[in-house]
Amino acid sequence: MNARSSCRPPPPDTPAGAPRPRAARGGGATLRLSDTFFDQDVPCTAEPGHLLAVSNHFGWVVAASSQGGQFAILSLALETTLDALLIPRVYAAGFGLFSLPTLRSTARSASPHDTPKVDPALHVPTPSPVDFLRFAMGEKLVVAGLRDGSVAVWRLKSLVEGQVRSRSLFGSLAPATDVATLDGRETSPEHLLQSAPLKTLPALVAGESLIDLCPNPAPDSPLLAVLAPSAAAPLTIFNLETSAVHATFPSDLAATSACWSVKGKQLAVGTASGTIVQLSPEGEQKALVPAPADLSPSGAFEVRSVEWLENNVFLATYAKPRTKSEDDVEHEDEVYVITKAGQEMSYTKFADPCPPFGMMGRQGRRWVGRFRNW
């Protein structure tokens, strides 16, 4: 699920290019998890991101927010007495922690076509807006890619318990029916101010937003692939346990998208040339998947997204590179399912499941959220 780019056009009063509210559907109702991601004082310049992650195993949802509910009220209160020390909106961005059972029950009880606003069980403020949210290491970690290029990591168990700081990185996490008891508990201002991440990985290039975050899907793997637009460090794999760099990839790779294999043994990297490169976590090239032959002209399309669906099956989106200076931009993407049989490739073209619907501000990237253990 692409939390910031849905298939429906934005409301009429939404400024062009402004990200839309977070929403989840069920029983004909739409659950609103945050307010719109547009601030007249702080224009949005980042590309759309992956702002929703679901842990079906533990029964929790994290969704980015433009302002922080209780924390926004806290900020307002503090500004009246500490206006010289507190900069408004510095902590307005962040993400909310929602109980999945609560979201389901709210959706079931809502009337058709209603749009109830669901408050998070906990709001976690961040110093920079959240552009990516992922679960990692068996859904025990919450990983957030921030707009300043840094990556912040929280332990889900600590967030559920309301204790962000913990000596141990790992520990048991109760089933969803038990951890959902946090819902409805009041969160103190002191806790909100102490919601620091367990660790933060510095930006590869200071101030440069990320393209994607890709945690290894193996439950015990600490590897996190970080994709950045920088030519100097386009793709870097970090170890979340040690915060060390596991592997770096050369700039001539020209990475534009990435995805782990189903078991996390290899990484599929989409490139600016339209080729998909299969790599080991250490960077050894294993195979190449060329672009579809019917994409014309050859070499004019880059891989905007790649999903490794099965051992020999990929879902890839191709599009022409776009720059913000272009006046007449092509916004149509080409979507293919690619099946490998030895050295042979078959390409099945599909209609775009999420066309722009006339949204000229769409940057063209897309992210897919896979709901495991559904």
Residue 222 DSSP label? -
Structure tokens at 80: 């009246």
Which of residues 325 and 190 earns the better pLDDT score? 325
Across residues 85-112, what is the average pLDDT? 74
What is the pTM assigned to this prediction?
Answer: 0.77
Which of residues 142 and 8 earns the better pLDDT score? 142
12-33: burial string, b at 16+ Cβ within 10 Å, e else: eeeeebbbbbbbbeeeebebeb
Q: Are 268 and 306 in contact (CB under 8 A)?
A: yes
Please say if the pLDDT value at position 367 is more than 60: yes
Cα distances from 338 to residues 128, 270, 271, in angstroms, run: 37, 13, 16
Please say if the pLDDT value at position 29 is more than 60: yes
Across residues 14-41, what is the average pLDDT? 56
Across residues 32-59, what is the average pLDDT? 71
Q: Are 58 and 176 in contact (CB under 8 A)?
A: yes
Across residues 249-257, what is the average pLDDT? 87
Closest residue by Cα to residue 366 from 44, 9, 50, 21: 50
Across residues 226-245, what is the average pLDDT? 87
Across residues 132-151, what is the average pLDDT? 94
Q: Which one-letter amino acid corresponds to residue 123?
A: H
Closest residue by Cα to residue 334 from 289, 304, 311: 304
Structure tokens at 213: 């975050």
Q: Where are the domains of the chain?
A: 1-201, 249-367
Confidence of residue 207 (pLDDT cuts 50, 70, 90): confident
pLDDT, mean over the chain: 75
Which of residues 248 and 180 earns the better pLDDT score? 248
Q: Are 225 and 239 in contact (CB under 8 A)?
A: no
Closest residue by Cα to residue 134 from 84, 222, 193, 61: 61
| Torsion angle defined by CA atoms of residues 162, 164, 169 and 173, in that order, rounded to the nearest 10 degrees | 20
Q: Which one-letter amino acid corresponds to residue 231?
A: A
Across residues 87-95, what is the average pLDDT? 54
Please say if the pLDDT value at position 340 is more than 70: yes
Give per-residue pLDDT as tens, 154-181: 999 989 887 443 333 444 454 444 333 3
